[in-house]
Structure 1
Amino acid sequence: MNTPQRPAGSARSAESRARAVRWALGLGTGVMCAIGLVLLFLLTQATNNRELYERNFGWLLTVNVLVALVLLAVLVWGAVRLVVRLRRGRFGSRLLLKLAGIFGLVGVIPGLLIYVVSYQFVSRSIESWFDVKVEGALSAGVNLARVTLDTIASDLANKTRTASTQLAQVHDAAAGVALERMRDQLGATDIVLWNSVGQPVASAGQSRYILNPERPSAQQFRLARQERISYQIEGLDDISHSQASANARVRTLVLVANPGVGLLAEPRYVQATLPLPQALVANAIAVQEANREYQERALAREGLRRMYIGTLTLSLFLAVFGAVLLAVVLGNQLARPLLVLADGVREVAAGNLRPKAALQTQDELGGLTRSFALMTQQLADARGAVEQTLSELDAARGNLQTIQDNLTSGVIVLDGQGVILSSNPGATRILRAPMAAYEGKPFADVPGLAEFAATVQRHFDTFLHDGDHHGLDHWQHPFELHALGGGVSGQGTSLVARGAELPDSTRLLVFDDISEIVSAQRAQAWGEVARRLAHEIKNPLTPIQLSAERLEIKLTGKLPEAEQAVLVKSVKTIVDQVDAMKRLVNEFRDYARLPAAILHPLNLNALLADVLQLYGPETARVPVQAEFDERCPPISGDAQQLRQVVHNLLQNAQDATQQAAESAGATPAPVRISTRWSESAQRVRLTVTDCGPGFPPHILQRAFEPYVTTKPRGTGLGLAVVKKIADEHRARIDLTNRVEDGVTVGAQVSLSFPPEPTAAL
């Protein structure tokens, strides 16, 4: 019984996916928790550091939102998976859903309570930090400090104006002493007297050591000229409070009264720099800084509130995510043994006894899975032993079939009535018949093999009848088969067949094709005969010819006219026959001495085009038509020997065509020569086709043997030389009669050459 089994690769793939999901879930949980903790830490640092808070507020809020969205997506994905498992009816889905719901409620309800309380607390706490009264008090303090400083600066300017009256009657050259006295009186740090064009006239204090004191602006000069007094407070914008308190000063510019009246009197200006009280300046700066900081925080309180609330929301999501994740993990731990047992029971019920998974936990459920796995392992071992035996038998059978399919010998198994039970590809190749199509049919029904089948049946009957007498376990006999379809590939098929009886009363027929061996032996024998004929016959031919010619010379003019005519005719006959014998001996000698082919890359189309120049319309007895395939790659060949092959084939084709045309009293049809490249066979095929009478069956099967010919005066060596050269070039040669409507209309010779190795690459 065939048992459904889950493929090992599918199980490993499912386990790998489950492991990957667990790793991804754990890694994602860790990353989310780490990001949440980092955000909480950064938020804590930012709330204690206003500058850090302002600088990182934007991206902190963005990351909070992204983390919240990711956690929400994970929660939705987990919920969808649970729903899908429940709809598919997966075992344990309801338990997982119940556990997830319980743990989710346990995590969500307290989290929501804490979230609501914290939300209210944060909202009210932040709002309580900011009060309208505090804001009004700070604004009033800033205004008070500004008014106080302006009052002090105005008072110092008036004092400077009062003191400048001392310079009204003082000449510019004596103004220095008056300025020193004035500086001591006012407590100023620096006093400079300027003329009407803004040039310093005299100075006292720090400016006395400066070549070019800082000149008041044109606007200050204009204001002092119009209102007789101007002042400005400097040094309040320094970086630190201590520097601002030390450098705070009032710089006044007053017009010096001139009691004289005249158009030539030029106005003069006194510029005095007076320090401000440090305590007052420090208090004013402190109030201003406090007011600015209060305003900045008041503006950012909405963002701060959103940040705190966002952090609380993130914490809630983390709590809910952890609760649901814990529910899934614990649910899997509880349901996993039950799932393993349920899956194993279903597989055993379906006939699948492969080893089952077992959990290594120490609880009772884990022990139950291990006991179940042990039971299925024992059943699987028993079945495995049986399957191993069957597989070994199948493997042995497959090996035997593989060996049989790859044998060069033909193998046929027959029953007692000669019906084909099985055959191998070697039998199909050797017999040239689709033997696999005739399995289950009598051997004698195979076209063209009826005689061979009958002979084989007789040998089996004789062997089995006389087997007890001769003591052999097989019989052996040579056979000669004619090629099917009226053609020949080299020559007839020669077989050596062996037969034996199999244990189940069937019969084994094994046969080998020895046609090439026979052909080689015949070629070798004919070569030896040719050498001996050339040696034994050629030597006496010349003396015979010379003796006849000498006899004619000696007797010419000494015989009557009638005897003289007989003498001349007889001598001519002897000389002609000796010449024919010499040509025959030379052909045999050339056949025996045919050199080994020297193979080089060769373009067959170019060689044929060169040879066909000798068969033009002006010289050819029978026209030759050529058709070349330009796709033909180069072949490995001997150009001289292939020229001889083409000449022999064309001359034979022309002779056969001319003979048929003379017999019919018609014009000879053209001889066709063509090349074709076969992609499937990877061969270059050369074909010569004539319109002659064809070959008789007894000649067709031995056409490539020496001295087998249909010509009255032929030697039969032309096709033998072609066969020998084809063998040197590793080419297959085929000779067939062309039949149309049951009538032979000519013959066709084909040579198939393998391409040159570099061209095949």
Structure 2
Amino acid sequence: MGEQRPAGSARRAANRARALRWAVGLGAGVMGAIGLVLLFLLTLATNNRALYERNFAWLLGVNVLVAVALLAVLVWGAVRLGVRVRRGRFGSHLLIKLAAIFGLVGVVPGLLIYVVSYQFVSRSIESWFDVKVEGALTAGVSLARVTLDTIASDLATKTRGASSQLAQVPDAAAGVVLERMRDQLGASDMVLWNAAGQPVAGVGQSRYSLNPDRPSAQQLRAARQERISFQIEGLDDINDPMAAENARVRVLVLVVHPGVGLLAEPRYLQATLPLPQALVANAIAVQEANREYQERALARGGLRRMYIGTLTLALFLAVFGAVLLAVVLGNQLARPLIVLADGVREVAAGNLAPKAALQGKDELGGLTRSFALMTQQLADARSAVERSMEQLDAARGNLQTILDNLTAGVIVLDQQGVIQSSNPGATRILRAPLAAHEGKPLAAVPGLAEFAATVQQHFDAFSLDHGHHSLDHWQHPFELHGSGGGMHAQGTSLVARGAELPNHARLLVFDDISEIVSAQRAQAWGEVARRLAHEIKNPLTPIQLSAERLELKLTGKLPDAEQAVLIKSVKTIVDQVDAMKRLVNEFRDYARLPAAVLQPLDLNALIADVLHLYGAETAQVPVQAELDVRCPRILGDAQQLRQVVHNLLQNAQDATLQAAEQQKLPPAPVVIATRWSESAQRVRLTVSDCGPGFPAYILQRAFEPYVTTKARGTGLGLAVVKKIADEHGARIDLANRIEGEEMRGAQVSLSFAPEAAVAL
């Protein structure tokens, strides 16, 4: 399940990233398409000034909106990129570089083209409105106007000359003359008006008109005064495509009557003559060109702004689109690298969960899939290694448990004798903190320098002779002598075995055989005691009786000097025989010590009962009791434990008295104490004195019979105590008390299991 969750998270992250890329790509495509369409419409509108002016506002607004949208997308992308950089996400700087590269590729050419285009447009527009062009257009317009006026004047003159034909023609016959004149002049319409402005006759289009166009009073007045007037018509709307065909000259001529009389009414001839179409078209073109030139000359600033605005909007769209495309393309290129970098960082951190892989068909996508496959293989390999390590840890744990519970001591050394590891059994047997000295030479452990040197010699000799024999280990007994200082200064008997390990390390295994040696010695002394009791005690009584009989037979029969010698000799024999009897009895008692009958008893009550015999009135050395009321009951033989307390107190008093006599000071009290240890679940009995302490050689063999520091002692007191302690399953310790650097006496301790623990 732990692997499925990371896999699901990776898939969800990949789906979100894919959806985000699609959304960004689709949005960029839509915005780009809108920008291109608007740019096309903007370009189309610039070709049609009217269309441009009509649609410039909304084209500009929509283009600005597109540009703002693109800018918003860019700002959003920049903010996200800034957040990634601030968080120290890998690949952020690479994405910045890629986006900058693509952006420069798109922006720099665009800016260059913009600058060149800007200069080109500005200078081109200024070059359009040259003074020579303006003069040429003005001259062309004037020339066209003069030409038209000349033609119109010529047509008017011809019409005036032809009007003489109507001077003597009456109104009724005027129509025939007008028809002939129209053909002569090529007019399209001719009308004869009377002085009242009423049509008299008409030919052409006016013939079919009920109300032909009547000349204005101003025109009639001008014709009467100047005899002729004309005007050009049909050129008012130059944008009309039929303007060249409709252009005409309307001539109004006063028809002069040859007679002189007040009753003669004047008449007016109106003729409509068409103008040459080619000339009119050229004149219209020149006039239109001049008009547009003047309009654009007046609006050259607006035109420049129009073109530059169009160019700027196109630049913005191109730049924003290029930068956005750069970000998208940079993200597409950096995405696989970021995925790989994240995966490498997680693998470096130890996370071998399934990694995200891109499904693209390019090499980078294939690289991410290969990396994901490699990570999966590494995860499988690590799982296999972890299972192997778990098995190895289990085996190591089992081995460590075995080593921790071994009674034998185990030490692993290198070739230089440096401690690499040890078990608690070694610490217990050697009574030294070996764990605290790991990485240090065995010889550096206090009290083990001689032992370490001997072990090193045996390993060196074994390495040299290993090829000459088939043994795979060496074995040697050791005697570790106490230094005389500390709570555990007594000697220890060891048997050690050494072997070479495959990695050039050295294995040292040793057992504490002190108890075995002590038991063997105790058994030997018991056998000696039985033989002494059997072999020595029998002749002692006859010797004593014979000496007493000699004294009885010879008393009064010898001179005084010989009598005195006889009495003294007999007394010496009897005293020595008694001493030998006591010694034999002690050996007999040691050899015949009965088995302990264990029963629940209160150790404090037992000690208090014994201390009645060591009151101040009877004891040369005072005894001080420090009893722990928390001590539980133990299982023991009251008679034998009473003997243990007596032996220990007597030995402590003798040692304290000896030291007091040597120092010529009052004897210090002997301390007997009990203490309950909750952590060890043991009841401890301790007897401490202020004597001279034990020499090192005595500490090693203090519990053996006939080992003593007293001049007249048999050395059986501590031996009996040791034997009784073994019967009770108690541990006995003997040590010298050190305060500072001075000897403060000796201390004997026995630790008993409580009644409840023994019952279990």
- The 5-angstrom pairing of residues 291-440 of structure 1 reads 350-351=346-347, 352-353=351-352, 380-440=379-439
The CA deviation string for residues 439-489 of structure 1, in whole angstroms up to 9 with x for no partner, is 222221111111111111111111111222222111100001123563676
Mapped partners of 2:592, 2:487: distance in 1: 26
1:548 equivalent in structure 2: 547
Q: Deviations over 1:145-191 (max 9, x none)?
A: xxxxxxxxxxxxxxxxxxxxxxxxxxxxxxxxxxxxxxxxxxxxxxx
Equivalent pair of 2:487/2:736 in contact (CA under 8 Å) = no
Deviations 1:113-168 (A, max 9, x none): xxxxxxxxxxxxxxxxxxxxxxxxxxxxxxxxxxxxxxxxxxxxxxxxxxxxxxxx
- Counterpart residue type for residue 607 of structure 1: L
Q: CA distance change for structure 1 residues 448 and 489 in 2, over 3 Å: closer, same or farther? A: closer
Cα distance change, pair 662–469 in 1 and its aligned pair in 2 (3 A): same
TM-score, normalised to structure 2, is 0.51
C-alpha offsets along residues 682-708 of structure 1, whole Å, 9 cap, x if unaligned? 111111112222222222221111001
In structure 1, what is the equivalent of residue 520 of structure 2? 521
Partner of 1:453: 452
**1:514 partner amino acid:** I
Q: Give the deviation of 1:398 after TM superposition.
A: 3.8
The total of aligned residue pairs comes to 419
Change (3 A) 1:373 1:490: closer
Counterpart for residue 606 of structure 1 = 605
* Residue 471 in structure 1 maps to residue 470 in structure 2: yes
Task: Answer whether contact 2:495 2:512 (CA < 8 A) is retained.
Answer: yes
Deviation at 1:355, TM superposition (A): 7.5
Name the CA shift for 1:384/1:700 in 2 (closer, same or farther; >3 Å): closer
Q: Which string of whole-angstrom CA distances, capped at 9 and with x for unpartnered residues, describes residues 57-101 of structure 1?
A: xxxxxxxxxxxxxxxxxxxxxxxxxxxxxxxx9xxxxxxxxxxxx
Q: 2:624 is matched with which residue?
A: 625
Does structure 2 conserve the Cα–Cα contact (< 8 Å) formed by 1:633 and 1:759?
no
Kindly indicate whether the alpha-carbon contact (under 8 Å) linking 1:490 and 1:704 is maintained by their aligned counterparts in 2: no
Distance 1:758 1:439 in 2: 35
2:590 aligned residue:
591
Whether the 8 Å CA contact 1:490–1:734 is kept in 2: the answer is no
Q: Which amino acid aligns with 1:683?
A: R
Change (3 A) 1:758 1:564: same
Alpha-carbon contact 1:474-1:501 (below 8 Å) kept: yes
Judged with a 3 Å threshold, the aligned counterparts in structure 2 of structure 1 residues 465 and 527 are, in CA distance, closer, same or farther, namely same
Mark the structure with the bigger radius of gyration.
2
CA shift in 2, pair 1:387/1:676, >3 Å = closer
1:713 corresponds in structure 2 to 712
1:574 CA drift (Å) = 0.4
Give the structure 2 partner of residue 564 of structure 1: 563
Report the 3-state secondary structure (helix = DSSP H, G, I; strand = E; otherwise coil) of the residue aligned with 1:701.
helix
Residue number in structure 1 paired with 2:531: 532
Kindly state the Cα deviation for residue 512 of structure 1 after the two structures are TM-superposed: 1.1
Contact 1:490 1:733 in 2 (8 A): no
- Residue by residue over 1:554-591, the C-alpha shift from the partner in whole angstroms, topping out at 9 and shown as x without a partner, is 00000000000000000000000000000000000000
> Does the 8 Å CA contact 2:602/2:632 hold for their aligned counterparts?
yes
Q: For 1:736, what is the secondary structure of its paired residue?
A: strand
C-alpha spacing 1:655/1:354, structure 2 compared with 1 (3 Å): same
> How many Å separate the matches in 2 of 1:630 and 1:757?
17
Question: Which amino acid in 1 is paired with 2:621?
Answer: V
Cα-to-partner distance string for 1:580-639 (whole Å, 9 max, x where unaligned): 000000000000011111111110111111111111122112221112111111111110
The alpha carbon displacement at 1:643 in A equals 0.4
Structure 2 CA distance for aligned equivalents of residues 373 and 498 of structure 1? 54
Shift of the 609–392 alpha-carbon distance from structure 1 to 2, 3 Å rule, reads closer
Contact 2:353 2:376 in 1 (8 A): yes
- Deviation of 1:406 after TM superposition, in Å, equals 3.0
Q: What residue is the counterpart of 1:483 in the other structure? A: 482
Q: C-alpha distance in 2, partners of 1:419/1:379?
A: 38
User: What is the letter of the counterpart of residue 527 of structure 2?
Assistant: E
Which amino acid letter does the alignment assign opposite residue 475 of structure 2?
Q
1:444 equivalent in alignment to 2:443: yes
CA contact (8 A) 2:485 2:738 kept: no
- Work out the CA distance in 1 between the residues paired with 2:597 and 2:429: 31
- Paired with 1:7 and 1:612, the residues of 2 have a C-alpha distance of 72
Q: Which amino acid aligns with 1:723?
A: K
- Deviation digits for residues 701-735 of structure 1 (CA, Å, limit 9, x no counterpart): 21111001111111100010001111111111111
Letter paired with 2:494: L
Three-state SS of the structure 2 residue aligned to 1:693 is: coil
Matched to 2:750, the amino acid is L
Tell me the residue number matched to 2:680.
681
Residues in 2 aligned to 1:353 and 1:469: alpha-carbon distance in whole angstroms = 53
Distance, in Å, in 2 between the alignment partners of 1:670 and 1:644 is: 20
Structure 2: distance between partners of 1:644 and 1:560: 50
Tell me the amino acid that sits aligned with residue 547 of structure 1. Answer: S
**Cα–Cα, structure 1 residues 630 and 759, in superposed 2: closer, same or farther, change >3 Å?**
farther
SS in 1 for 2:536: helix
Amino acid at match of 1:616: G
Q: Is the 8 A contact 2:484 2:490 kept in 1?
A: no
Counterpart-to-counterpart distance in 2, 1:596 and 1:565: 50
Structure 1 residue 9, shift from structure 2 partner: 13
Aligned partners of 1:456, 1:758: CA distance in 2, in Å? 40
Paired residue type of 1:582: K
Counterpart position of 1:268 = none
- 2:696 aligned with 1:697: yes
Unaligned runs of 5+ in 2: 10-82, 84-338, 357-370
Contact in 2 for aligned 1:488/1:701 (Cα 8 Å): no
Whole-Å Cα distance in 1 between the matches of residues 483 and 343 of structure 2? Answer: 59
After the TM superposition, which residues 175-214 of structure 1 pair with which residues of structure 2 at under 5 Å, given as runs? none
Whether the aligned pair in 1 keeps the contact of 2:670 and 2:687 (CA below 8 Å) is yes
Within 2, Cα distance between the matches of 1:660 and 1:373? 84
**Bigger mean CA offset, 666-675 vs 389-398:** 389-398
Contact residue 674 and residue 687 of structure 1 kept, 8 A: yes
Tell me the secondary structure at the aligned position of residue 747 of structure 2.
Answer: strand
| Partner-residue secondary structure (3-state), 1:486 | coil
Partner of 2:657: 658
1:582 lines up with 2:581 in the alignment: yes
Q: Give the deviation of 1:754 after TM superposition.
A: 1.2
Cα distance between partner residues in 2 of 1:9 and 1:629 = 63
Identify if the C-alpha distance between structure 1 residues 541 and 488 changes in structure 2 by more than 3 Å, giving closer, same or farther.
farther
Percent same amino acid at aligned positions?
A: 80
What secondary structure does 1:601 align onto? strand
Contact 2:486 2:738 in 1 (8 A): no
Tell me the distance in 2 between the aligned counterparts of 1:380 and 1:744: 65
